[in-house]
Amino acid sequence: MSRVTFEPLETDSMLLNFGPQHPATHGTLRIILELEGETITGSTPEIGYLHSGFEKLGEDLDYNQYITITDRMNYLSPLCNNVAYALTAEKLIGLEVSKRTEYIRVLMCELSRIADHLLNVGMLAVDLGAMTAFLYGFRVREDIYDLFEAATGTRLTTSYTLVGGLIRDIPKGFDKEVLRVLEEVDEVTDDIETLLNKNKIWLDRTKEIGVISKEDVYSYGISGPMARAAGIEWDLRLKEPYSSYEDFDFDLVIALNGDVFDRYLVRMEEIRQSIKICRQALEKMPEGEVNVDPDLGFSLPSKDEVYNSIEGLIYHFLLYRQ
Amino acid sequence: MNHDDVKSNVLTTTLESAINWGRKNSLWPMPFGTACCGIEFMAVLAARTDISRFGAEAIRFSPRQSDLLIVAGRISIKMMPVLIRIYEQMPEPKWVISMGACASSGGVFDTYSVIQGVDQFIPVDVYIPGCPPRPEGVVESLLKIQDLVDKEKLSDYALSDTK
Amino acid sequence: MLLEKAISDVKESFQEAILDVTEFSGERSIHIKCDRILDILSFFKEAGFEFLADLTAVDNLTLGGFERFAVVYHLLSHESVERVTVKAYLPEEKPTLRSVESLWKTADWQEREVYDLYGITFESHPNMTRILNPDTFDGHPLRKDYPRRGRIERSDFPLVKRGIRKEDETP
């Protein structure tokens, strides 16, 4: 019998094209990876596969028309984008909206944040093979979609805000529905954490993976939960409160390691803080109009006035013709 | 075996309709999700509108294993060559759903970088209107595709020189 | 606080490069000539504005301004929660300025985006190529004289026909 000798094999690094259409990109990202066995030694990301010319589109639209486009920029939580855009336009014009509008905007933003974080965590879990967390998350996401549908008329492309107000007030009985959904979100958040927090596979594949240091945050201009997971105490809602966020009592969530696991923990805790904010917003919801005075020329007169008085009708057309 | 036994145990059909029956109830979709419609497509997979009721839950991200391409979302000029390539990699017979306004006509994105309807360049079988369509719309389109599959002729897929 | 001191210091040290200092609804902007951009931004970074929130550009073709193009830097200080906008103006004939990639890594991609959409080039940038549009793209779409519907780029693809393609056919 001849002896088998093991000589070291010739190895070479390998280039692998990942994306732009791949289940784990959840969108359109292409990465050219350099591999040394199973270790990634280098990567060149390539973007632009979803470049749609949003800015160019804005050249031909007026302020209110552009709100429909803001829905489609971040399709995980379109209401946040609506609000951000409306706030910008209002700051440019110098408009002040009513307290009720601000509270409804906060409520909607926080519901969107919950939906966004649930999808985020759910998709991360799917990529690591834990389909259950995704299905749990999507169940309450559908309930949140139902809430949006009741208030705005559509599930995803909401276009809920106007410059100087909202398309319409929240419907009657909305608060009870929101409270019911929040209960469920609370439960599902606990369920997902029970599933994942002590799961060996999950821990092995998220702890100390993709670490972002504090220096990286400044160098790469990272914000949001990613920065907070790296230990940066920065939350726009607390540091530069907009839309009456100063009225609400909630905590800044940070983590210290900056790895994937910490980002997941920050998102889960932020869902809990958002639930808190939503409950406070419903409790303290002020009465009043949701749009600024039509005489200022930024919002339309009430339908009652348009259909029942000739002045109202003339004014309605005048606003549209301008 | 007597005559009654044969009657209750044997089903006669044509090979074509048996194959089509099998195909239409086990479509393997390949979602080409780029934007908002991709998120709604996820909702179609999730619990409420569970697409597996129609036998199409086996999502395949490899075009070589799938027979239904779902173009969900706007397609930019940088993405179009990729989409054409993926369409060509799919084995025959194959069907294409154009999901949502952007894939069907460009939608609100009448700009330099968005394709004004993927049907300009690849064949599309079913269009779903909406921006984005509701999950129910996607299920309806799947049923429409099943009707199309039912009408397939095997002879269409014979190579032309053997005809 | 931090902002007032930084602005007055910049005014003093870079007198010849500063065109104007303006304020609009609480947002301070400094308008500068493009040649001292790297020095002014490193000055701000040292003064505590260490977060580059955004880097973008403006085409002043119909708006008017000091020059046709302006590259806009939005800086933020996490400690004092203040923001400042630096606008560097560039002439139409030679739209080129220094890259700030050495100060912030995030400027790498954002400068590539500005190059892609406005045709403004950045000196000593590590990889000055298009980022959003394909490399074969002709023109810079966010310039105001570029048509919204593009030229022909969005209809310039091969048509794929239904059915099995024969060997000798090309799509």
- Is residue A98 one of the residues assigned to a domain? yes
Average pLDDT over residues C52-71: 88
**Please, what is the average pLDDT of chain A?**
87
Q: Is B91 exposed, middle or buried (0-12, 13-18, 19+ CB in 10 A)?
A: exposed
3-state secondary structure of A204: helix
Instruction: Give A180's pLDDT tier (boundaries 50, 70, 90).
Output: very high
Q: Which residues in chain C have their CB less than 8 angstroms from residue A57's CB?
A: 148
Average pLDDT over residues A101-117: 92
Which pLDDT belongs to residue B163? 41
Query: Strands across the sheet with C18-24, in order?
Result: C18-24, C27-33, C82-90, C69-77, C51-59
The answer to whether the Cβ–Cβ distance between A21 and B82 falls below 8 Å is yes
Q: What is the domain range of residue A303?
A: 292-322
What residue segments make up the domains of chain C, in order of their start? 2-149
Calpha distance A89→A290 (Å, rounded): 17
- Percentage of chain B modeled with pLDDT above 70: 94
Q: Does residue A33 sit in the same domain as residue A140? A: no
Average pLDDT over residues B78-99: 89
Concatenate the DSSP letters of all residues of A37-57 into one string. Answer: TTEEEEEEEE--TT---HHHH
- Percentage of chain A modeled with pLDDT above 70: 94
CA distance A32 to chain B (A): 15
Cα distances (Å, whole numbers) of residue C123 to A219, B134, C127: 19, 49, 10
Instruction: Give A105's pLDDT tier (boundaries 50, 70, 90).
Output: very high
Calpha distance A261→A20 (Å, rounded): 26
Q: Does residue A109 sit in the same domain as residue A170? A: yes
Q: Does residue A217 sit in the same domain as residue A312? A: no
ipTM: 0.86
pLDDT 10s digits, A251-298: 999 999 889 999 999 999 999 999 999 999 999 999 888 888 777 777
- Is residue A57 one of the residues assigned to a domain? no
CATH of the domain at A255: 1.10.645.10
- Of residues B20, B132, B155, the one with CA closest to residue B71: B132
Output phi, psi for B121, to 5 deg: -125, -30
Q: Does residue A83 sit in the same domain as residue A40? A: no
What residues contact residue A134 under an 8 Å CB cut-off, 6+ apart? A122, A123, A125, A126, B46
Q: Does residue A103 sit in the same domain as residue A239? A: yes
Q: Does residue A5 sit in the same domain as residue A102? A: no
- Is residue A71 one of the residues assigned to a domain? yes
DSSP state of B53: G
Both tokens assigned to A166: 């909202």
Q: Nearest by CB to A240, which of C52, C81, C144? A: C81
Q: Does residue A169 sit in the same domain as residue A274? A: yes
Which pLDDT belongs to residue B162? 46
The answer to whether the Cβ–Cβ distance between C141 and B112 falls below 8 Å is yes
- Tell which wins on pLDDT, A20 or A255: A255
Q: Within 13 A of A238's CA, how many CA atoms are on the CB side? A: 13
Instruction: Give the N- to C-terminal CA distance of chain B in Å, as an integer.
Output: 41
pLDDT 10s digits, A52-91: 888 888 888 888 889 989 988 888 888 999 999 999 999 8
Q: Within 13 A of B90's CA, how many CA atoms are on the CB side? A: 28
Q: What is the CATH number of domain C2-149?
A: 3.30.460.80
Among A51, A71, A88, residue at a domain's last position:
A51
**pTM of the predicted model, to two decimals?**
0.88
CA distance A161 to chain B (A): 18
Query: Total structural domains in chain A?
Result: 3
Q: What is the CATH number of domain B27-152?
A: 3.40.50.12280
Q: Does residue A132 sit in the same domain as residue A206? A: yes
Q: Which residues in chain B have their CB less than 8 angstroms from residue C151's CB?
A: 112
Residues B103, B75 contacting (CB under 8 angstroms): yes
